[in-house]
Structure 1
Amino acid sequence: MKKYLLVVILTFLIYYPLVIFGQDTDSQKKVFLPNIQFEERVYDFGIAGQQEKITHNYKFKNVGKGELVIKSVRAPCGCIATLVTSKRVPPGVTGVIKVTFETRKYKGKLTKSIFVYSNDPDEPKIELKISGVVKTDFALKPEFLHFGDVEKGETVTKTLKLIQVGQEQLTLNRVEAAREYFSTSISSFKDERHKGFKIDVSLKPSAPVGRLMEVITLHTNLKRHPRIDVPVWGNILGRIRVKPQMLSLGLIKKGSYSPKKIEVKATDQFDFKIVKVESNVPFLSTKVSEVKKSKRFEITLKVDKKAPAGRLRGQISIYTDDPDQALIKVPVYGLITN
């Protein structure tokens, strides 16, 4: 029995250190591995013209504890990709891959890929991207103006940039805009990559209340683009607010209907009156009631029980004594089912 125990103990003493040593070696292998990390993997060059050369440096760092080896950099996109720094990157050291892309005769939005191969076990192949828009003669930034909701009396200014991206010298002759809504000013600009004109478009305080859907026209010297139209949207708010601005009656079972309400109120201590309310929706009646001491009105809408099955569509016209909002229109729609 003692001899058997001695054999077991000797076997344990011989093989146990080997097992531990093997585990330690595997752990060390996992600890001392490279880890490549890029500052960015996608570069957007924005807007460029044809026959332009675009260059960008993709910076990376070895954040692991083992030596990083860049095996190769490939650019099947037609770009030129070069590893500027050493292909062997010790832990904590940074590197740079320089990419040059020529726009040539490209047109429109494009994305090109560059592939980096390394000894990083988690990401042996990394895809870098370069993207943007190639224009032929000019670029407009933004391509439309949206003023959003604006209180009547406010002055809000938005800026357009007309950018020269072609070989033809760009000249902005004049800006055509609705005088009752806008005032404009023009100045030239030049930065590291672009030059052109900056147009400041200001919404006048006297602009009438209601939805704004206009077009500003830029007159240029470009043969193919003598006129450039810029859509403009917005909503000028008056002192009277209507809720909802569009009313859905929903699905209505023929012969039964729960009344719906439209709320009309002032935003401040402004006193106003509803002169009358009209509906052009068949079988839809309206009733106006004033909520005392709240400067608020409620318009109750009711569908006639005799209304036939089918769609309801039209508008409620609210007439007030406010000269800025003498007429307020609320679209109405619904469906009567059997």
Structure 2
Amino acid sequence: MQINGFWAGFLLIFLLPGVALAQEPRLLAESTDFRFGEIYQGQQLEHSFRLENTGDGPLLVEKIRSSCGCTAALLSDYQIQPGQSAQLRVTFDSTRFRGPVVKTVYVYTNDPRHRVAQFYLRGQVTPELVLEPTRVDLGALESGAVGEAAIVIGNVGPQNILIEDIQTDLQDVQATLSSKMLLAGESVTLHIAVAPGEGAVKRKGYVVMSTNSSYTPVVKVPVSFSVMGKAQP
């Protein structure tokens, strides 16, 4: 029986010693989805994913990309040998977020079956301090009149918080607190009084409070109003 040239070459791969098939890496992750539950706004979250190479060729990680600048990813080894593993450490900064969040990290590899592997962080970000209302707009005020507003600040976190300082960048605005100690589960009231001088202008600024909380070190309350003519006696 004759064997044509194609099949003869194919058989030689298996029959001749020292001839090996092409080796391929295989990316295997114990988990690609981490559900962290609930954290407080401003909290830093860290989690590690384990990446294993179950193939017979080196697994090369070409690059790593995250879905936003709030999420950083660092890999312990960008070349994973067969039978070895590496740790993908992901850090999420929740400062600018509230409510449900999903953050994604993309890992680009030479695994022909997983050119781009995706890893997820999912959970809920809850503000430690809740303001009601969140901003103050006193509308149009006559020069010489007094406008007032009150904001309730609730502490829904697990620790007592001391409001260490309170300032405003508007010279016509005064801000005082019913108490600087904000107990866990309790609330205090921020009183804002405006006694504008003359000048028909729109004014905007902030009342800024600094705290001893590592999660919420600064609280900013927007304040706006406009000044009309002088109040009549």
Normalising by structure 1, report the TM-score.
Answer: 0.37
1:76 offset after TM fit, Å?
A: 2.6
CA distance in 2, matches of 1:24, 1:72: 39
Q: Number of paired residues?
A: 142
Q: 2:33 aligns with which of 34, 37, 42?
A: 42
Aligned 1:114-129 pairs, distance under 5 A: 114-129=105-120
Which residue is 1:83 aligned to?
A: 75
Report the identity percentage. Answer: 20
Runs of 4+ deviating beyond 6 Å: 23-27
The answer (yes or no) to whether the contact 1:137–1:167 under 8 Å persists in 2 is: no
1:137 offset after TM fit, Å?
A: 2.6
Matched, 1:28 2:21: yes
Stretches of structure 1 that go unaligned for 5 or more consecutive residues are 1-7, 140-161, 170-195, 198-219, 225-338
CA distance in 1, matches of 2:120, 2:160: 27
* More relative contact order, 1 or 2 (CA 8 Å, 6+ apart): 2
CA distance in 2, matches of 1:24, 1:166: 72
CA distance in 1, matches of 2:68, 2:159: 23
1:105 offset after TM fit, Å?
A: 2.5
1:36 offset after TM fit, Å?
A: 0.6
CA distance in 1, matches of 2:41, 2:11: 64
Matched, 1:70 2:74: no
Deviations 1:52-97 (A, max 9, x none): 111111111111111111111111322111112x211111101111
Stretches of structure 2 that go unaligned for 5 or more consecutive residues are 131-154, 163-182, 190-233
The answer (yes or no) to whether the contact 1:137–1:166 under 8 Å persists in 2 is: no
Which residue is 1:222 aligned to?
A: 187
The structure with the largest alpha-carbon Rg is 1
Structure with more helix by fraction: 1
Deviations 1:145-199 (A, max 9, x none): xxxxxxxxxxxxxxxxx97268837xxxxxxxxxxxxxxxxxxxxxxxxxx99xx
Give secondary structure in 2 for the equivalent of 1:18.
Answer: helix
Which residue is 2:45 aligned to?
A: 54
Which residue is 2:128 aligned to?
A: 137
Give secondary structure in 2 for the equivalent of 1:164.
Answer: coil
Matched, 1:111 2:102: yes
Normalising by structure 2, report the TM-score.
Answer: 0.52
Aligned 1:256-295 pairs, distance under 5 A: none
